[in-house]
């Protein structure tokens, strides 16, 4: 997983949910496994320095407790797929087919270059 400022990846490519005051609602940690899969861990996040209404306090949870992503939110992640990934192979297939069709058409027209 690469973090590249060109696509906003300075934070390892993750965007986490924010509250109405633009405060993060969760803590996020991640690991890239040896097989290339990504393990994302999320934790409850409070803001004790904020006014009471904006502290993100939830009964029976303390700051740092493991928690699911809030149901009204999502975590987005930007990754670069390996060149040999199924995604890139599927993206490449139409381009190759078009090039082959153009070459076949050129040969049948007698316009060999």
Question: What does the alpha-carbon distance between residue 54 and residue 52 come to, in Å, rounded to a whole number?
Answer: 5
CA distances from 20 to 43, 50, 55, 61 (A): 19, 13, 12, 20
**pLDDT higher than threshold 80 for residue 98:** yes
The tens digit of pLDDT for each residue in 42-67 reads 999 999 999 999 999 999 999 999 99
The tens digit of pLDDT for each residue in 68-97 reads 999 999 999 887 777 888 888 888 888 899
Q: List alpha helices for the chain, DSSP H.
A: 86-109
């Amino acid at each position: 997983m690469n973090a590249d400022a060109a696509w906003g990846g300075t934070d390892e490519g993750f965007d986490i949910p924010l509250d109405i005051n633009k405060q993060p609602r969760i803590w996020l940690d991640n690991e890239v496994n040896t097989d290339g899969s990504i393990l994302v861990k999320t934790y409850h996040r409070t803001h004790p320095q904020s006014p009471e209404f904006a502290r993100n306090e939830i009964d029976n949870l303390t700051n740092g407790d493991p928690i699911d992503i809030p149901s009204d939110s999502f975590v987005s992640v930007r990754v670069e797929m390996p060149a040999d990934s199924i995604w890139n192979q599927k993206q490449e297939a139409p381009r190759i087919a078009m090039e082959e069709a153009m070459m076949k058409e050129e040969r049948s027209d007698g316009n060999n270059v």
